[in-house]
Amino acid sequence: MSDQIRRLSDELARDPSSLVFLQLGESLRTSGQLDVALRVSLRGLERHAYSAEAHDLLARICVDRGELQRALDEWDMVLRLAPEHSGARKGMGFVLYKQGRFSEAERYLREVAASDAGDVSIAHALASVERLQRPDVPQPELATPSRHDARRLFADILGDGDQTALLIDSTGLVLAGAYVAADGREVAHEIGAALSGVREEAERAMRHLPLGAWTSISFEAEAATVAMAPAPNGALVMVAADPALPLGFVRRVLESCVARARVWLTEGK
């Protein structure tokens, strides 16, 4: 148990009606103690049933537990209690996206964008959702890959080889790149959803090891070599390549993609 969790637990024990359960529940959630976080959240809601932040905490815990419909229900309650709660709208947009309900996800993401035009991740998430709703619209032929076209952001780095790259935000939304399965299906959004939380898990692991911040991680599997690295704004870059390619080459491709993503995110393009 971390010092912070111990301190918050002691404080809550002294005053069970305190709102400190919100901090404790979030600390437990981010440390991966989801069952304990759930219990703390539910007990807090027994005393603070009309707290929008309490329902928001429970929703985020439910997402981490894979209980997406329950998370939607909790965020719906948040919006009933606090109609302007942008975190709930963003959360609902993420869950709906993860469920493949793109038109509904777009509505919530647009509402968030209207209240926070400076959130680059929302702008890119919207572009991704809009693209996924038009899977049959052919991509324009370009003489050279355009950095302004999110789907082709890494095209010139990857070339014509058997490799792909994605830029994924902290909630699992694909901001840029493409991932086409062997049967021709675009599965980028599925990959992004599956990788949500990976960066957070890597950072959590590094906090327990005296190795400093993580810079990249790679996996050599039968089907592909996968390499990932952190990007600005809590995002993650993932490169998947033919397992026959040297790991050093895959890492160099990853470094180039991270550099491209850094410029793209910083410039908001």
| 70-101: pLDDT as tens digits | 999 999 999 999 999 988 998 898 788 767 78
pLDDT at 142 over 60: no
Mean pLDDT across 223-249? 85
3-state secondary structure 217-241: EEEECCCCEEEEEECHHHCEEEEEE
pLDDT at 140: 40
Mean pLDDT across 246-259? 84
pLDDT digits (tens, 9 = 90+) for 106-133: 898 888 888 876 666 677 667 767 766 6
User: Binning pLDDT at 50, 70 and 90, where does residue 139 land?
Assistant: very low
Are 127 and 166 in the same domain? no
User: Domain of 70: which CATH number?
Assistant: 1.25.40.10
Of 73, 106, 132, which closes a domain?
132
**What is the count of structural domains for the chain?**
2
Antiparallel, parallel or unpaired: β 217-220 and 236-241: unpaired
* Tokens, residue 258: 């991270």
pLDDT at 120: 62
In a domain, residue 56? The reply is yes
Are 159 and 234 in the same domain? yes
In a domain, residue 120? The reply is yes
Are 107 and 223 in the same domain? no
In a domain, residue 233? The reply is yes
Are 57 and 127 in the same domain? yes
CA distance linking residue 126 with residue 102, whole number of Å = 10
Are 160 and 81 in the same domain? no
Are 91 and 199 in the same domain? no
Are 193 and 253 in the same domain? yes
Identify the residue with better confidence: 38 or 195. Answer: 38
In a domain, residue 186? The reply is yes
In a domain, residue 11? The reply is yes
pLDDT at 144: 36
Which residue range forms the structural domain that includes residue 25? 3-132
Are 201 and 92 in the same domain? no
Percent of the chain with pLDDT over 70: 85
**Model confidence pTM above 0.95:** no
Secondary structure of residue 163 in the 3-state scheme: strand
pLDDT at 147 over 60: no
